[in-house]
């Protein structure tokens, strides 16, 4: 694999979603840089690995979280050591086999390479409700359902 491959960056994103889907706050937090930032679906902001862990741990401990299904839309190298990844994601609630369109989201990651290792500097999880345009919600939901 070449040293600056989009696949390496997509792997970090897949690891992030796998950690969420396995309800593993430590594994998620450890993917971030020491001062990395996570902005959640509800707008909550956590800065630094330990704050990200402290935010996620009680969520996984006390709530049956839905699992992510996602599709990477773009991997854009801003430099040889800074990459932006954009994806769409849906969530499948516990005990369900279908995506809940009310929580479709856009994911944006800024991933940086430090000391030869890719880490997440920023993860932003933005609701994709397309107010007044329900056809766009349905289009996104169908695109994600095709991945189930």
Torsion from C-alpha of 112, 115, 116, 119, nearest 10 degrees: -30
Per-residue pLDDT at 6: 86
Distance of CA 56 to the CA centre of its chain: 13
Report which of 13, 3, 8, 2 is spatially closest to residue 89, judged by C-alpha positions: 13
What's residue 76's pLDDT?
96
Q: Where are the beta strands (DSSP E) in 40-104?
A: 45-47, 67-79, 82-92
| 2 pLDDT tier (thresholds 50, 70, 90) | very low
| Whether the predicted pLDDT of 3 surpasses 60 | no
pTM: 0.92
Q: Taking residues 76-88, report their average pLDDT.
A: 97
Determine how many CB atoms are found less than 10 A away from the CB of residue 102.
Answer: 11
Give the pLDDT mean for 120-130. 96
The pLDDT of residue 118 is 96
**Percent of the chain whose predicted confidence (pLDDT) is above 70:** 97
């Amino acid at each position: 694999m070449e040293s600056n491959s989009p696949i390496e960056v997509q792997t970090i994103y897949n690891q992030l979603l796998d950690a969420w889907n396995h309800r593993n706050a430590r594994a998620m937090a450890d993917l971030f840089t020491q001062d990395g930032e996570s902005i959640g679906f509800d707008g909550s902001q956590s800065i630094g690995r330990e704050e990200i862990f402290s935010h996620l741990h009680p969520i996984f401990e006390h709530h049956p979280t839905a699992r992510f299904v996602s599709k990477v839309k773009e991997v854009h190298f801003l430099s040889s050591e800074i990459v932006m990844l954009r994806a769409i994601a849906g969530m499948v609630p516990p005990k369900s086999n279908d995506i809940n369109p009310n929580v479709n989201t856009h994911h944006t990651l800024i991933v940086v390479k430090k000391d030869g290792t890719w880490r997440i500097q920023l993860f932003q999880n933005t609701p994709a409700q397309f107010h007044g345009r329900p056809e766009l919600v349905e289009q996104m939901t169908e695109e994600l359902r095709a991945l189930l």
